[in-house]
Amino acid sequence: MTEDSFDFTLESKCGQSWARAGLLSTPHGKVPTPVFSPVGTQATVKTMSPRELEQLGVSLVVVNTYHLYLRPGPEVVAQLGGLHSFMGWDAPILTDSGGFQVFSMKHLCSVDDDGATFRSHVDGSEHRLTPEKSISVQEQLGADIIVALDVCPPYPSDHEHNRVALDRTHRWAERCLEAHTRKDQMMLGVVQGGTFADLRAESARHLVSLDFPGYAIGGLSVGEPKALMHDMLDVTIPLLPEEKPRHLLGVGSPEDLFEGVARGIDIFDCALPTRVARNGTFFTREGRLNIRNARYRDDPAPVVEGCLCYTCRNFSRAYLRHLVVGKEILGMRLATVHNLHFMLSLMREMREAIGEDRFPLLKEQFLATYQVADYQAGKRDRQAWLGKLGASQGVSND
């Protein structure tokens, strides 16, 4: 398979917004866009089998380079035929660069112009991550789409800190392109710049000049207000080539999907739907439903009336609450099935609405009834989550 195996075709655009629908072709199949990709940190979407993902209509899975580098190791994966064979998934796969996890572990990591030195959260061993190393590992893993190594600054951080990170990101992007040898993989360059419009614009222009096959936007949804994230997308996206795919890294709440699609994003990935499912939280069109709430103890209704997912067609809120409160694995599985079905159905609705030139109306109708999770509460939850992971000396997407 060669680079000719990749193609991105725009099929329709909505005249009243930047929303667009397309088709991304890869060596392992086609991905209709806009698309939401579940995260399979350790070559598995938690609680789901590949067959179940296929039945749900998942067309792309994101897998984590950092975790697979440490365990079982890229050599093992390569020896067993690459990720598709290793995890029993014959559809498209995207691997991230591993940088986000490394840079998130401040107490275990030091960064310089050449790369990052970090200690494994598994056994404390020391490792070195450079642009060349990241690409080498991703080539061994064998995903269809890979990501250039970038520096993701924390929020908040000042202009100078982001300037240093941006310069490194740009130099590393050039080194990633030079190191990349596999023609059956598409590489995405990552736009950074924090929450500074001038740096975002500079980054977009520089990466476009390097002529990557596609572009990712990183460093957002890391604690900044939603409006600020939207402002950065408004600055960045018009500077990216219309004929190439755009991926918004690590963003995936329902309201963010609408805002991203409205601005021309094609690909989203996030562990949020699967992570909150394991805590008994279900997505609905009115907002999040916490099945642990005592009022659901004897509720015979499904989570969502009319929902066609396996969970809603077969089980009551009372039974689901019983499973979740009892910490039964089936409860986590059924919640994950529902949340992934919800997200994938939402993306199909968006794609259809774009083709019929009514996406703004769909967005308006959805956001009119959907109760967005409280920003400050979400921020506290994220900080608590990262703190818990930091305490165990490891950071995961999932």
Catalytic residue among 96, 144, 256, 266: 96
CA 182 to CA 188: how far, in whole Å?
14
Q: Where are the alpha helices (DSSP H) in 63-146?
A: 65-70, 74-79, 83-87, 99-104, 131-141
Provide the CA 134 distance to its chain's centre, in angstroms: 18
In the chain, helix, strand, coil percent, each to 5?
45, 20, 35
* Sign of the dihedral through C-alpha 241, 243, 248, 252: positive
E strands of 234-354, at which residues?
Answer: 246-248, 267-270, 281-284, 287-290
Residue-level length of the chain: 398
CA 153 to CA 229: how far, in whole Å?
14
- What residues have CB less than 8 Å from 176, skipping those under 6 apart? 131, 132, 134, 135, 148, 149, 187, 189
Phi and psi, residue 283, nearest 5°: -85, 135
Contact 202, 162 (CB under 8 A): no
- Type of residue numbered 192: Q
Q: Is 299 a catalytic residue?
A: no
Catalytic residue among 256, 269, 374, 398: 269
Contact 132, 179 (CB under 8 A): yes
Beta-strand relationship, 267-270 and 109-111:
unpaired
Which long-range contacts does 298-304 make (Cβ < 8 Å, 24+ apart)?
Answer: 303/338, 304/338, 304/342
Distances (CA, A) of 220 to 86, 128, 200: 31, 25, 11
Q: Is 198 a catalytic residue?
A: no
Active centre residues (catalytic): 96, 269
